């Protein structure tokens, strides 16, 4: 094989990346991950993107840029939805076009299967599209996909850490909370205090979407629905003593949903909460100060 597939470790890679990594490896296709987000990746993505781009998109472009010199192809799926009745932000549907136009790439270098729903038929169409891009057998691709899917479903789930102190819920999109570059300064003050942190990943998807149905008439973006479901769920848990809602500056859906959740859920709850908006200019010292102050407030409430 004379090709290597690059996998940008940003956006929904944090949710489905291991599935597609396993798929390519099952077909013996060399795969290169872009690695963890760094300041240089963020800076490069900021330069490449337009001013109106949200932080996660800037990060994504930085990851793509880091792969171009070493990879013949870049894997950029076009994802419209993967849960019934909800749709993703338009940037996910337009991501292949954004990447291709930003870097002026030949269409043949961008592997962009359409993922429009969670059905088996849609998955097989995506597999066929990928195999066609690489000149591989569709039958081989189908076998590789089912093998990778079985391994992905059997992967170890997030374990719950034990703590003598109460729990704090940190709620946000996976591409923020699971990116160490952004999450370390939010999580570290709690971890140093021995506080247990829970995130939306600790909630079964089925349960989260069940709770999110309460907001179906107002929230139709899928990732926003997950935030709403997680926020409502954690507000109802007695052992949660504080809630932090994390979002990225420039995210249109978040800017509306944060206000909605604050008005309809967080203020109605008796739990202390804080909304953190981060961008490429957010300083470590200021973020740590806000998180530490929040925990001090929670502690005073626990120990009046």
From 129, 153, 177, the end of a domain falls on 153
Same domain, 298 and 223: yes
Q: Is residue 45 part of a domain?
A: yes
Q: Is residue 159 part of a domain?
A: no
Identify the H or E element spanning 207: helix 205-212
Same domain, 114 and 250: no
Q: Does the reported pTM lie above 0.95?
A: no
Give the CATH number of the domain where residue 21 resides. Answer: 3.40.50
Same domain, 91 and 209: no
Same domain, 246 and 140: no
Same domain, 20 and 141: yes
Q: Is residue 158 part of a domain?
A: no
The encoded tokens of residue 121 equal 């038929």
Domain count, the chain: 2
- Angle at CA of residue 54, ends 95 and 268, nearest 5°: 120
Q: Is residue 186 part of a domain?
A: yes
Burial 8-36 (b: 16+ CB within 10 A, else e): bbbbbbbbbbebbbbbbebbebebeebee
pLDDT at 1: 59
Same domain, 296 and 224: yes
Q: Is residue 162 part of a domain?
A: no
Q: Is residue 119 part of a domain?
A: yes
Q: Is residue 161 part of a domain?
A: no
Is residue 53 a contact partner of residue 88, using CB atoms and an 8 Å limit? Answer: no
Domain range for residue 32?
A: 5-153
Mean pLDDT by 10 residues, the chain (304 residues): 90 92 94 95 94 92 96 93 82 94 95 81 91 93 94 71 72 93 88 90 90 88 92 94 90 88 91 90 82 91 82
Same domain, 184 and 149: no
Same domain, 179 and 96: no
Same domain, 139 and 213: no
Give the CATH number of the domain where residue 246 resides. Answer: 3.40.50.11900
pLDDT digits over 28-66, tens only?
Answer: 999 999 999 999 999 999 999 988 899 999 999 999 999
Q: Is residue 54 part of a domain?
A: yes
From 104, 128, 153, the end of a domain falls on 153
Identify the H or E element spanning 171: strand 167-171
Same domain, 88 and 200: no
pLDDT digits over 123-157, tens only?
Answer: 899 999 999 999 999 999 999 999 999 999 887 76
Same domain, 176 and 289: yes
Same domain, 31 and 142: yes
């Amino acid at each position: 094989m004379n090709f290597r597939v690059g996998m940008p470790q940003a956006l929904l890679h944090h949710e489905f990346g291991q599935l597609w990594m396993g798929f390519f490896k099952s077909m013996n296709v060399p795969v290169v991950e872009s690695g963890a987000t760094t300041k240089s990746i963020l800076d490069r993505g900021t330069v490449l993107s337009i001013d109106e781009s949200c932080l996660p998109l800037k990060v994504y472009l930085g990851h793509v840029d880091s792969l171009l010199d070493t990879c013949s192809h870049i894997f950029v799926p076009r994802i419209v939805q993967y849960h019934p009745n909800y749709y993703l932000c338009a940037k996910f549907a337009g991501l292949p076009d954004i990447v291709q136009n930003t870097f002026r790439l030949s269409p043949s270098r961008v592997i962009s299967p359409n993922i429009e729903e969670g059905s088996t038929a849609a998955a097989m169409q995506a597999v066929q599209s990928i195999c066609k891009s690489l000149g591989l057998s569709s039958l081989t691709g189908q076998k590789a996909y089912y093998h990778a899917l079985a391994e992905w479903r059997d992967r170890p789930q997030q374990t719950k850490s034990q703590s003598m102190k109460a729990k704090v819920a940190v709620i946000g999109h996976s591409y923020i909370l699971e990116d160490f570059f952004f999450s370390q300064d939010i999580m570290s003050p709690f971890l140093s205090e021995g506080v247990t942190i829970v995130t939306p990943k600790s909630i079964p998807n089925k349960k989260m979407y069940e709770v999110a149905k309460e907001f179906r008439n107002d929230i139709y973006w899928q990732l926003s629905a997950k935030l709403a479901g997680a926020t409502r769920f954690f507000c109802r848990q007695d052992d949660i003593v504080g809630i932090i809602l994390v979002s990225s500056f420039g995210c249109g859906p978040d800017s509306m949903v944060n206000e909605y959740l604050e008005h309809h859920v967080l203020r109605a709850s008796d739990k202390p909460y804080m909304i953190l908006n981060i961008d490429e200019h957010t300083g470590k010292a200021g973020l740590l100060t806000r998180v530490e102050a929040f925990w001090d407030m929670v502690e005073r409430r626990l120990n009046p």
